[in-house]
């Protein structure tokens, strides 16, 4: 029987195979756990994290609203770093709930997927 972690790893590899990373596009990857959500802009060619944002320190609101705040924060930091176009990597998570809220807020903040 396949475990939940193994299933997510298979999905994650399938997604990474479909994402085409170019020099002008960076990968926006999402990691979520029960209480927090993290997002990074990664330059795969150089192997470095360019910009990162997380929900640490944000509390008192529903998780979806916190995810939206993190999406706005990453969009703002990306624009300050001169990044406008990214490739969205949902990292094996389903595209709904907090992941979708984060992506929508980043789009509204000016990032192009």
pTM: 0.88
Q: Please give the chain's pLDDT, 113 residues, in tens.
A: 889 889 999 998 888 888 766 667 899 999 999 999 999 999 988 889 999 999 999 988 999 999 999 999 999 999 999 999 999 999 989 999 999 999 999 999 999 98
Long-range contacts: 15-22, Cβ < 8 Å, 24+?
15/89, 15/90, 15/91, 15/92, 16/89, 19/87, 19/89, 20/87, 21/45, 21/87
Rounded to whole angstroms, how far apart are CA atoms 113 and 8?
Answer: 22
CB-side neighbour CA atoms (13 Å) of 58: 19
pLDDT given for residue 81 in this prediction: 95
Distances from the Cα of 33 to the Cαs of 49, 59, 101, in angstroms?
A: 20, 15, 15
**Domains of the chain (ranges, CATH numbers):** 4-108 (3.30.420.100)
CB 8 within 8 A of CB 94: no
* Those residues with Cβ within 8 angstroms of residue 5's Cβ, 6 or more apart along the chain or in another chain: none
């Amino acid at each position: 029987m396949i475990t939940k972690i193994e299933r997510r790893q298979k999905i994650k590899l399938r997604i990474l195979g479909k994402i085409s990373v170019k020099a002008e596009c960076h990968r926006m990857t999402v990691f979520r756990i029960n209480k927090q959500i993290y997002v990074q802009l990664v330059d795969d060619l150089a192997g470095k994290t360019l910009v990162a944002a997380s929900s640490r320190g944000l509390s008192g609101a529903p998780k979806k609203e916190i995810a939206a705040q993190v999406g706005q924060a990453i969009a703002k930091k990306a624009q300050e770093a001169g990044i406008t176009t990214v490739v969205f990597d949902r990292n094996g998570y389903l595209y709904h709930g907090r992941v979708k809220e984060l992506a929508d807020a980043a789009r509204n903040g000016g990032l192009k997927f």
